[in-house]
Amino acid sequence: MQVTTTITEIRAWVRQARAAGRTVGFVPTMGALHVGHTSLIDAAAERCDCVVVSIFVNPTQFGAGEDFARYPRPLENDLALCAEHGVDTVFAPSPAEMYPRENLTWVAVEKISEPLCGRFRPGHFRGVATVCTKLFNIVGPDLAFFGQKDAQQVAVIRRMVADLNLPLEIVVCPTVREPDGLAMSSRNQYLSPQERKEAPVIYRALQRSAELIRAGETDSAQIVGRMSEVLRQVPGLQIEYVSLVDADTLEDLPQICGRVLVAVAGRLGPTRLIDNIVVDGPAK
């Protein structure tokens, strides 16, 4: 496995792979890799001849007071995991390589970036869309792989790729969960042992919504109320939102129909947790 840190090197590597007729799968990450990430790598290896993983903690998607400085950066461990999963090249640039000067050009995906996490993390999706555009331009993959856990990120990236005619396909892979239902996340390591025990309450609330929808409930307010009862079992959980929205447009659904994204975000101590499920409501 090769490790590249410069744009020139990774471009040369991909050019050679393409010249040899190989398709390129790309998994963009911020490192601190876990089974959620390795499932994306495995999916990329299945669909493509070679796999490029980027490891870059992108400063432009963190707001003031967020966890940019303390975000885990276990590079040696990440490289070992990539090698184990047959990654061909890791692209691990420095911030100066990615942002050599003041950044004046931004990619902003309107509307879809605004609800849900957009309300609590202003500027976050602008940073994500901008760095993904840069990474797609640098790597030039055929396919790029993202996890459903970050449902709004997926919706933003899909829309950006469609609106800007970017020449790649986005593949979305299922959320990977711990045995107790907690969605895998690099931020789970911030949880204290007690918080770790409490965190699966979010998935239990999501499951409650699925049960209600399958039983025929279509009133979102009722469903949110019943989910909140579950979430209140952990008094320390500060809920940011519990929302039922259209899975593609992220528009609010007071009466649910079609593919519904049920999404929850909250803070447990200093840790921000997000999770979601997609449930089929009655046909539109």
Sequence-ordered alpha helix ranges (H) in the chain: 7-19, 35-47, 75-84, 95-98, 117-120, 124-139, 151-163, 193-198, 201-214, 220-231
Is 28 among the residues that bind ligand PAF (CB under 6 A)? yes
- Give the residue with the Cβ less far from ligand PAF, 121 or 208: 121
Binding residues for ligand PAF, rule CB under 6 A, total 10
- Give the residue with the Cβ less far from ligand PAF, 62 or 203: 62
Min dist. Cβ of residue 208 to ligand PAF (A): 27
76 to 7, 52, 188: CA distances (angstroms): 21, 17, 19
Degrees (nearest 5) of the Cα angle 248, 252, 258?
A: 50
Cα distance between residue 42 and residue 48, in whole Å = 10
Is 276 among the residues that bind ligand PAF (CB under 6 A)? no
- Exactly one of 10, 128, 183, 277 binds ligand PAF (CB under 6 A); that residue is 128
Is 61 among the residues that bind ligand PAF (CB under 6 A)? yes
Strand 24-29 and strand 89-91: pairing?
A: unpaired
**Phi and psi at residue 173, in whole multiples of 5°?**
-110, 150
Please choose, out of 27-35, 80-88, 177-185, 256-264, the segment that lies near ligand PAF by the rule CB under 6 A.
Answer: 27-35
Min dist. Cβ of residue 110 to ligand PAF (A): 19
- Is the alpha carbon torsion for 160, 41, 175, 171 positive or negative? positive
User: Does residue 157 contact residue 132 with C-beta atoms inside 8 Å?
Assistant: yes
Degrees (nearest 5) of the Cα angle 117, 93, 154?
A: 30
Min dist. Cβ of residue 241 to ligand PAF (A): 19
- Exactly one of 10, 14, 30, 256 binds ligand PAF (CB under 6 A); that residue is 30
- Exactly one of 58, 133, 148, 276 binds ligand PAF (CB under 6 A); that residue is 58
Tokens of 74: 């276990």
- 260: exposed, middle or buried (C-beta count within 10 Å: 0-12, 13-18, 19+)? buried
- 204: exposed, middle or buried (C-beta count within 10 Å: 0-12, 13-18, 19+)? middle
Degrees (nearest 5) of the Cα angle 59, 75, 132?
A: 40
- Give the residue with the Cβ less far from ligand PAF, 50 or 57: 57
Min dist. Cβ of residue 194 to ligand PAF (A): 27
Is 53 among the residues that bind ligand PAF (CB under 6 A)? no
- Give the residue with the Cβ less far from ligand PAF, 176 or 212: 176
- Give the residue with the Cβ less far from ligand PAF, 153 or 175: 153
Please choose, out of 45-53, 128-136, 230-238, 247-255, the segment that lies near ligand PAF by the rule CB under 6 A.
Answer: 128-136
37 flagged as catalytic: yes
Of 34, 37, 85, 124, the catalytic one is: 37
Query: Per-residue x/- mask for ligand PAF, residues 150 to 179, rule CB under 6 A?
Result: x--x--------------------------
* Residues assigned a catalytic role: 37
**Interface with ligand PAF (CB under 6 A):** 28-30, 58, 61, 128, 131-132, 150, 153
